[in-house]
Amino acid sequence: MQALEERIRKDGVIKEGNVLKVDSFLNHRMDIELINEIGREFRRLFPDKSINKILTIEASGIGIACITAQYFGCPVVFAKKTQSINIDGEVYSTQIKSFTHNRTYDVIVKKAFLSPDDNILIIDDFLANGCALLGLIDIVKGSGASIAGAGIVIEKGWQNGGELVRSRGIRVESLAIVESMSVENGIVFRHEQTV
Amino acid sequence: MQALEERIRKDGVIKEGNVLKVDSFLNHRMDIELINEIGREFRRLFPDKSINKILTIEASGIGIACITAQYFGCPVVFAKKTQSINIDGEVYSTQIKSFTHNRTYDVIVKKAFLSPDDNILIIDDFLANGCALLGLIDIVKGSGASIAGAGIVIEKGWQNGGELVRSRGIRVESLAIVESMSVENGIVFRHEQTV
């Protein structure tokens, strides 16, 4: 997605440790116009009319999922990272390791909010090692719902999450795949790669 | 807001300990159509054209803030609860006690994302004891930005957060104010109250 790639190149900040900071437009300050374009693009990529629910994970996936859901006319369910004493009843749960925060989260979705009749699109802001996405896939599979695919805003192409998920037969559409990046040479997107 | 009150009465679940669960449409599964109506109502209540930024707090405020921001044509900034090793540079910070989770969070907003030129609308899903809202107000005041007001989806009218914030001269618009509730007698909204 050209507007997204241009924005990443303009405002993304490459930090030591292969960190790409996009917090000025995607996951701290959120550019709602750009996220609207992102939502429209996800609809174009997943035209399947049977998609009836979007699943994401708190926190930074939620805004993107909500804007995107408007193009699908469907509700959003977000997986919760912390065990809240307000969550009652039965939940689907999995564990997700966050390398960013260097800890493992229990992630839960209330069983009442997923059904075997659902055809679910998973939305998230980043795909790197795939832990969060694989966790969400586990939760959906546990519910018996179908997975229409996963819509990712930015995939780190040099990490193996994309390959891991695609090798399980899940369709993954990433709007920007960063193939490599460095402070010296900037960002190379996958489609720009020279062999 | 009538559609919201009807929805709370229909799908809200009153639990022991004065807990009102609205996770089937507001803060776990999100009804995007309803949240669109909520966003439109916030715009009606805050018509001020100088509002140029919406501030909220993760996690459940984010989706509501993003949908609402479309009616204001402005970006969203969300305050972060966990200290991420990905946050660099200077931040505004405050501490917020969560009674739901029985812990105190450090809450931060990157300084670059708030400016003295901003006129900020604060959006959140719940107002009860006011801790989260007062924390966000502290952060905005620290930045020198103006506060246009606070838009709250559900206020628990029997707790003192609304009074605390309004007594500081901040305009608070709550789309539904629950004055009292009990498993036996259900929900009474403030405007229905008999003296």
| Of the candidates A109, A96, A94, A97, the residue with the CA atom closest to the CA atom of residue A53 | A109
Q: How many CB pairs under 8 A join A and B?
A: 123
Residues in chain A: 195
Given this model, what pLDDT does residue B84 score?
A: 53
Are residues B29 and A85, on separate chains, in Cβ contact within 8 Å? no
CA dist B193 and B195 (Å) reads 6
Residue B158, classified by CB atoms within 10 Å of its CB into exposed (0-12), middle (13-18) or buried (19+), is: middle
Nearest-5° Cα angle at A72, A27 to A2: 50
Give the percent of chain B with pLDDT over 90.
85
The model's pLDDT over A17-68, given as tens digits with 9 standing for 90+, comes to 889 999 999 999 999 999 999 999 999 999 999 999 999 999 999 999 999 9
- The first and second tokens of residue A25, run together, are 């437009």
Which positions in chain A touch B32 (Cβ < 8 Å)? 66, 69-70, 73-76
What phi, psi does B137 have (nearest 5°)?
Answer: -60, -45
Are A82 and A59 in contact, with CB atoms under 8 Å apart? no
The model's pLDDT over B33-73, given as tens digits with 9 standing for 90+, comes to 999 999 999 999 999 999 999 999 999 999 999 999 999 99
Compare all CA atoms of chain B with the CA of A70 and give the residue at the minimum distance. Answer: B32
Chain B residues 108-147 within an 8 A CB cutoff of chain A = 109-110, 112-113
The model's pLDDT over A160-186, given as tens digits with 9 standing for 90+, comes to 999 999 999 999 999 999 999 999 989
Between B19, B66, B112, which is nearest A63 by CB? Answer: B66
> Does B183 reach chain A within 8 Å, measured CB to CB?
no
Residues in chain B: 195
The helix-helix angle for B60-72 and A32-45 (nearest 10°) equals 100
The helix-helix angle for A60-72 and B60-72 (nearest 10°) equals 60
- The first and second tokens of residue B117, run together, are 């030129």
Residue A149 pLDDT greater than 70, yes or no? yes
Report the mean per-residue pLDDT for chain A: 93
Are residues A24 and B86, on separate chains, in Cβ contact within 8 Å? no
Residue A88 pLDDT greater than 80, yes or no? no
- ipTM of predicted complex: 0.94
> Does B156 reach chain A within 8 Å, measured CB to CB?
no
Q: Which of A19, A26, A28, A107 to mutate to test the interface with B (most CBs of B within 10 A)?
A: A28
Where residue B88 falls among pLDDT bands split at 50, 70, 90? Answer: low
Selected residue with higher pLDDT from B99 and A134: A134
* Three-class secondary structure of residue B136 per DSSP: helix
The model's pLDDT over B101-149, given as tens digits with 9 standing for 90+, comes to 778 889 999 999 999 999 999 999 999 999 999 999 999 999 999 999 9
> What one-letter code names the amino acid at A39?
G
Given this model, what pLDDT does residue B85 score?
A: 47
Residue B193 pLDDT greater than 60, yes or no? yes
Which positions in chain B touch A7 (Cβ < 8 Å)? none
Question: Which pTM value belongs to this model?
Answer: 0.95
